[in-house]
Amino acid sequence: MSGACLVTGATSGIGLALAEGLAARGDARVKSWADWVANAKFREDASRAGAENWAAFKGHLDPGKADALARSLVARMALQKVMDENHIDVFVHPENIVPTPKIQGPNVGSISLDGITPFFQVPRVVVPAGMNDIVYEPQYALNADKTDYVSVLAPGTPQTRLRHPMPVSITFFAGQGGEPVLIKVGTAYESATHHRVAPPAFGPVAGE
């Protein structure tokens, strides 16, 4: 799946929840969290180190740890209930609709799932959704407490046209164990839209 990044919930299978989740998937190779770490493809060494540390961690029931897992479990159950009752297979989320802003500029139009899907401990897949050639010039305003300046987008904020358009993306996420349907949906979206534009210096990937 060209240009895609599959991300699964990093702590989705602690203890009983892990065993149940992996058993429900029926994967031939990944039967434990350690198996998942061993078979995963990480974009950064820091992510791999964090996953390996979590696999070796034994204090899941220490004070403060079990409470966080319990909140995540209840939230995940509520999410799954909503999906089942409304016949929802996948959620769609515009991961970002503007390119990465200029340094210290307002990140307008981006609502990341980085803090949401890890809390629910559910998988998501990110695929190309087109190109954009507009960035907003930095604008700042004093916060309500008058202690700091924060980036803002006010009416009339200047726009700059990029010489080379930058890619934007779309995210699909599902319930726990929903990786197979996400791969199908992400692949179908990419095949139907052809939003991915090959970087000039690298050229198209095989099959494009």
135-171: per-residue pLDDT in tens?
A: 777 677 888 888 988 777 666 667 788 887 878 888 9
* Of 33-47, 173-187, 188-202, highest mean pLDDT: 173-187
Q: How many CA atoms lie within 13 A of 186 on its CB side?
A: 27
**How far is the C-alpha of 51 from the C-alpha of 48, rounded, in Å?**
5
Q: Residue type for 75, please?
A: A
Q: Strand, helix or coil at 110?
A: strand
**What are 136's strand-pairing partners?**
159
Question: What pLDDT sits at residue 96?
Answer: 62
Q: Residue type for 138, please?
A: P
Question: What pLDDT sits at residue 26?
Answer: 74
pLDDT digits (tens, 9 = 90+) for 104-140: 455 555 556 666 777 788 888 989 888 888 777 767 7
- Whether residue 11 has pLDDT greater than 50: no
